[in-house]
Amino acid sequence: MTMLHWVRHGPTHAKTMVGWTDLPADLSDAAQVARLSAHLPAQARLVSSDLSRAAATADALAGPGRLRLPHDPDLREIHFGAWENRAFAEIDADEPEAIAAFWQAPGASCATGGESWDMLSARVSAAADRLAGLGGEVIVVAHFGAILTQLQRARGLPAAEIFAQKVDNLSVTRLHWTGAGWQEGCANHCP
């Protein structure tokens, strides 16, 4: 059996649509990072998205028993294309129909030059399935959207319903592979 411990990276404090924009994580709360690290399995593989906020969070969680795997770009957040690093109100003023479709009927809708929810889900699911082949415990440091796609998959929900799920920074969501599919252990647990 494989257990994936999905960890959302440390906060960026951005108030914009941040997908592939490479902002750093605020990891200044050393006590919170230490609690998170202690909560995770000591003898686990550790992988992250290649974006610096996820990679730095993974580096902060690395320990002597945790084997660090190479960064995986398939674990990145959704790519917002022309909406990257822009405020919602600004996008809504320029492209109200497009942004409404993106949030209200997620799936095939995407920003100009960006990724759809379906594309993100396929990309992250392929990465999760590769990690399932490793067996054992794997800590996966990724992003809000990436984690939501896997919760959606485990719960068998439509995308519009999973958007209500909260995923806090430095929280843990556990999913395990049973051979018949992904099962949820817990979601948005903050140690």
pLDDT in tens, 130-152: 999 999 999 999 999 999 999 99
DSSP-derived 3-state class of residue 12: coil
Element (H, E) at 7: strand 2-8
What was the pLDDT predicted at 154? 97
Tokens of 160: 């519009």
Neighbours of 115 (CB within 10 A): 21
Contacts 24+ apart (CB under 8 A), 101-107: 103/163, 104/160, 105/160, 106/159, 106/160, 106/163, 107/159
Residue 108 class from Cβ within 10 Å (0-12 exposed, 13-18 middle, 19+ buried)? exposed
Q: Is residue 76 part of a domain?
A: yes
Q: Is residue 154 part of a domain?
A: no
Element (H, E) at 39: helix 30-39
Q: Is residue 86 part of a domain?
A: yes
What was the pLDDT predicted at 4? 98
- Which of residues 10 and 178 earns the better pLDDT score? 10
Residue 191 pLDDT greater than 80, yes or no: no
Helix pair 52-61, 30-39: axis angle to 10 deg: 70
d(CA 70, CA 58): 11
Q: Is residue 60 part of a domain?
A: yes
Domain range for 21: 2-143+159-189
Q: Is residue 151 part of a domain?
A: no
CATH (domain of 164) = 3.40.50.1240
d(CA 111, CA 84): 9
Residue 1 pLDDT greater than 90, yes or no: no
What was the pLDDT predicted at 58? 98
Question: What percent of the chain has pLDDT above 70?
Answer: 99
Q: How many domains does the chain have?
A: 1
Contact 132, 44 (CB under 8 A): no
Q: Between β-strands 136-142 and 67-68, what pairing exists: parallel, antiparallel or unpaired?
A: unpaired
Contact 143, 50 (CB under 8 A): no
Q: What's the mean pLDDT when you consider all of the chain? A: 95
Q: What is the pLDDT of residues 65-83, one digit of tens each?
A: 899 999 999 999 999 999 9
Residue 110 pLDDT greater than 90, yes or no: yes
Q: Is residue 148 part of a domain?
A: no
Q: Is residue 150 part of a domain?
A: no
Q: What is the pLDDT of residues 20-64, one digit of tens each?
A: 999 999 999 999 999 999 999 999 999 999 999 999 999 999 988
Q: Is residue 66 part of a domain?
A: yes
What was the pLDDT predicted at 59? 97
